[in-house]
Structure 1
Amino acid sequence: MRRYYSDNKQNYRSKRGWCMVEGNSESDVVFPPALLGQRWTAAAWRAVAVFVIGYVLPLLVLRASNFGYGVRWVAILLTYMLVSLAIFRFLESRSAARMAVLDMSPANTEMPRAAAALDQVVDTGRETVHSASKPGDWSLELLNQLDWKRMTDLCLAYFSDRFQCKAGALAEDGSVEILLFKDSTERPAGLVHCRAWGEREITLETLENLSLKMAQGLIARGFCMGYGSFTPEAKEFAKAHAISLIDDAMFLSMLKRLPDERKSQLLALVVEGDYTVPTCPECGLKMIVRQHEQARYWGCRAYPRCKAVLAMRQRYVPASASALAR
């Protein structure tokens, strides 16, 4: 089960756009992820390598010696453990993907609520954003400043004009997945991967995971939205797997093509209250800046009751913002 916090060891991953505080689980102690990899395919390939190096080669070279006999038995044991781990992680990934599709049904679909309702529960000592300083139009700078929750609300509101939408929780990579339903059908018509926080460059691995969930949920169309860029490998993969890539410049263009009334509605939705400070993914309060040794991060203001944290996001304003924001 993914967690943003734990009472044990803290691990601040400041290089990524998210930050998770977690303890050492029992499975991590037996099968260290750094050694065996996170995906089931990594464990499977390691099992093949151990079997070939530890069993096949000694069988050919050492033949019937006692040492070779012992090495082969150790290889068999390690291969069995790695195969078991690969099977476990494969079943776990399939189960997680199915649960994501089943849980996000259109029955409980709601439009994103106004951000002011969220801000009202925040400590009154927090600095407020005055209306005079709020942007009056859409821009790349605004999209890159949005809280992950506001970015999710914006994506939900945009797609709700044509679909019924259901959003999941903030994932470890700073993304939120949104299922799109058409005409109250049970099967989703599309799946949106919205990178609302985290690394600005979306890689091939993200697209592969999105394609896997699409296949398991029998979803024909996928969208990958981010406020940064996509690697060349990710772009090639998207072309072959019916995935539309939408970066911040393209999303800005899509917003500007909306009718004036709808543009104003969406703008008012995302800039209401404090729209730049991230929302706690656990309790919904606005977060505050904290210091851990030499690293700064966003921590929940309800600490120690809530220990969720997020990494500081690097500011990014494209040099060609004026040319793209047309």
Structure 2
Amino acid sequence: MSRRRYRRKNEGLLDIAVRLDWKVSAGLAAASVFGGAVLVPALLGSSPALRPISTVFTQFAWLVAFVFALIAVIRSTAPPEPAESDQPPAPPSTQDNVWIPSVASGVPPRPPRPESWSLDVLDRVEWKRFEDLCCAFYREKGIRAETTRLGADGGIDIHLFQDDTDPNRATAIVQCKAWNKPVGVKEVRELRGVMAHEKVEKAFFMAPNGYTDDARAFATENRITLLDGKLFLAMLQRLPEEASKRLLEFATAGDWTTPTCPSCGDRMTARDSKRGAFWGCVTYPKCHAKLGMRAKPAAAI
């Protein structure tokens, strides 16, 4: 059971009053007044022995009524909470740098399916499909490659296995970042730390929009191969024609530009807010994941 569900299950009347509409608090206040002014005296007030207890319960009921009435006043005067469609994008995070196809607002049109590889195609491929494309590329090269599960990947998106003497030992790791900006040295340093933890001597970083100069310098000193969009495009084009075509069909099949939810793996949908358009999970409110979105449409293929 999730922590959120656990809290909901065990929250009290005060928590409910604060979270729900002001009318709930007003109703609880009225119920407390009735209990303190009518119910408690009727049940306990007739007995001299119980009359002191009745007085205590009555005073407590009035106190509770005052608290709920105060909450009702505050809730009734506060501005309404915005709906999901009005929620601003989540604060920037590593995942928010994922490349997202550009739309102005609303549901983005699906781009035409390309007939050949280009840098524009690599830019448009949503982040999860890009990871799967990278894995499929290594398999086309005859290398056993396995992607990690969705969610926290520990800095690894793909494991490569090329040790014939120990088939289950990964010999290299791959990190993929389909960002709309160059990858910095921080991410490359993190990959070096993962190499040490995994006890592998080689690593590959694949990012369509390249790397900063500091990132390139660090990678050169630490046996990390950086593959940007131009280099990866050349590698795709140098494959045998059938293999290259097969990967293109795989990368652009179905809805290949709408991002995958990084939390639950479902699709995301375009939403609008006062701060602009953003991607939200289609399963909301079950999943609250969000991703940033560019403000202007990208050029057509």
Query: What is the TM-score with the length of structure 2 in the denominator?
Result: 0.59
Of the candidates 91, 96, 107, which is equivalent to residue 13 of structure 1?
Answer: 91
**Is 2:134 the counterpart of 1:155?**
yes
Letter in 2 for 1:285: D
CA distance in 2, matches of 1:287, 1:275: 12
Give unpaired runs (5+ residues) of structure 2: 1-7, 9-18, 20-86, 99-106
What does residue 291 of structure 2 align with?
Answer: 310
What does residue 179 of structure 1 align with?
Answer: 159
Residues 1:163 and 1:172: Cα distance change in structure 2 (over 3 Å) = same
Q: CA deviation at 1:249?
A: 0.6
Equivalent residues in 2 for 1:196-275, closer than 5 Å: 196=178, 198=179, 200-275=181-256
Provide, for residues 178-221 of structure 1, a one-character-per-residue CA deviation record: whole Å limited to 9, x for no partner.
1111246232111111102x452111111111111101111111
Q: CA deviation at 1:270?
A: 1.0
CA distance in 2, matches of 1:233, 1:312: 27
CA distance in 2, matches of 1:230, 1:150: 21
Query: What is the TM-score with the length of structure 1 in the denominator?
Result: 0.55
Equivalent residues in 2 for 1:63-74, closer than 5 Å: none
**Is 2:144 the counterpart of 1:144?**
no
Structure 1 segments of 4+ aligned residues over 6 angstroms from their partners: 7-11, 314-318
Residues 1:11 and 1:249: Cα distance change in structure 2 (over 3 Å) = same
Residues 1:162 and 1:313: Cα distance change in structure 2 (over 3 Å) = farther
Q: Give the count of matched residue pairs.
A: 204
Output the aligned Cα RMSD.
3.4
Letter in 1 for 2:174: V
CA distance in 2, matches of 1:278, 1:11: 15
Residues 1:202 and 1:314: Cα distance change in structure 2 (over 3 Å) = farther
CA distance in 1, matches of 2:134, 2:247: 10
Provide, for residues 150-173 of structure 1, a one-character-per-residue CA deviation record: whole Å limited to 9, x for no partner.
101110100123322222256689
Matched residue SS, 1:261: helix
What does residue 167 of structure 1 align with?
Answer: 147
> Is 2:174–2:204's contact at 8 Å kept on the other side of the alignment?
yes
Of the candidates 114, 126, 146, which is equivalent to residue 135 of structure 1?
Answer: 114
Q: CA deviation at 1:261?
A: 0.4
Give unpaired runs (5+ residues) of structure 1: 1-6, 21-125, 322-326
Residues 1:146 and 1:314: Cα distance change in structure 2 (over 3 Å) = farther
> Is 1:140–1:252's contact at 8 Å kept on the other side of the alignment?
yes
Letter in 2 for 1:283: C
CA distance in 2, matches of 1:255, 1:200: 21
